[in-house]
Amino acid sequence: MRRRQLGRQLKELRTQAGLTMDEAAQRSGLSRASISRIESAKQTILPRNVRLLCQVYGIGAPLIDHLVRLAEESEERGWHLANSDTVPNWFERFVKEEQEATEVWNYEAEFIPGLLQTAAYCEAISAVSVPNVTEEELRDAVSFRKARQARLEGKNPLRLIAVINEAAIRRVVGSRDLMREQLWHLVELAARPNIVLQVLPFAAGAHPGMTNSFAMLHFPDDAGVTTVFVEVSGGGIYPDRPADIERYTWIFQRLRQLSLSPRETADLLSSVAAEL
């Protein structure tokens, strides 16, 4: 993940400097092929090469220090490898980058967002999502979800802004007791300063997020561009053009405008839970 993030940042810096790959190669002494592989994250990115390219692009501290640190850490093996059997290939990039993000924007149409699920809800969803799932696989899914949720706690917790379609909070998953527990869990989480929760009501009518659920990962200003992840049937895609990022930013902001306020959302969650 760090290698991909670093490669994208170096490509962006080269473009901002107005240099082609050939010109960057000529000025740095690296081959054009090496620069291409660095920017596409297809080879190990050595810290000395990061310093060299940053000098060519006119980059100084503190950004150069941050990029060198990314290069030094780019080959480290993360916690997610302990769950490698649980994480599908198409979701692996998201999980890695989620650990580095400072803020996540998430729109969910059918489910309670993974970072906000109780263990029982996660298990119930997993049980109906995978054919012939075993008890061990269900336990692994819950363990993996809990590991991701740890980012919401601690001294520098992840900031999460989540928009949930009203259908997701009214659909009874597992049992009425299970769903009631999940809804009260959302009320408790929404009270945390790093979590903003809004429900998109049925009354909003047609909206720009009707095609797919999606998430956007935001990083520190000097740490790389936003990652967009869009759920599709049986997998996910990562639109990465500037126009894609602008479009999904607009979609999410529009969804928030159409949604209930955080206070109204907490009231609705409490009301639905009380009805179960």
**The two three-digit tokens of residue 32, written as one number:** 């054009």
Which band of pLDDT confidence, cut at 50, 70 and 90, is reported for residue 85? Answer: low
Q: Is the pLDDT of residue 82 over 60?
A: no
Which band of pLDDT confidence, cut at 50, 70 and 90, is reported for residue 217? Answer: very high
pLDDT of amino acid 76: 52
Please report, rounded to a whole number, the percentage of residues in the chain having pLDDT higher than 70: 92
Q: Output 197 or 154, whichever has higher pLDDT.
A: 197
Give per-residue pLDDT as tens, 257-274. Answer: 999 999 999 999 999 999
Q: Is the pLDDT of residue 95 over 90?
A: no
Contact 160, 104 (CB under 8 A): yes
User: How would you label 214-244 residue by residue, b for 16+ Cβ within 10 Å and e otherwise?
Assistant: bbbbbbeeebbbbbbbbbeeeebeeeeeeee
pLDDT of amino acid 79: 43
**The two three-digit tokens of residue 122, written as one number:** 């996660």
d(CA 61, CA 40): 24
Q: Report the predicted TM-score, pTM, of the whole model to 2 decimal places.
A: 0.72
Q: Which helix (H) or strand (E) holds 105?
A: strand 103-108
Which band of pLDDT confidence, cut at 50, 70 and 90, is reported for residue 224? Answer: low
Q: Is the pLDDT of residue 181 over 90?
A: yes
Stretch 89-115: mean pLDDT: 89
d(CA 52, CA 75): 19
Give per-residue pLDDT as tens, 7-46. Answer: 888 999 999 999 999 999 999 888 888 888 888 877 778 8
Q: In order of start, what are the domains of the chain with their CATH numbers?
A: 2-73 (1.10.260.40), 79-275 (3.30.870)
Average pLDDT, the chain: 88
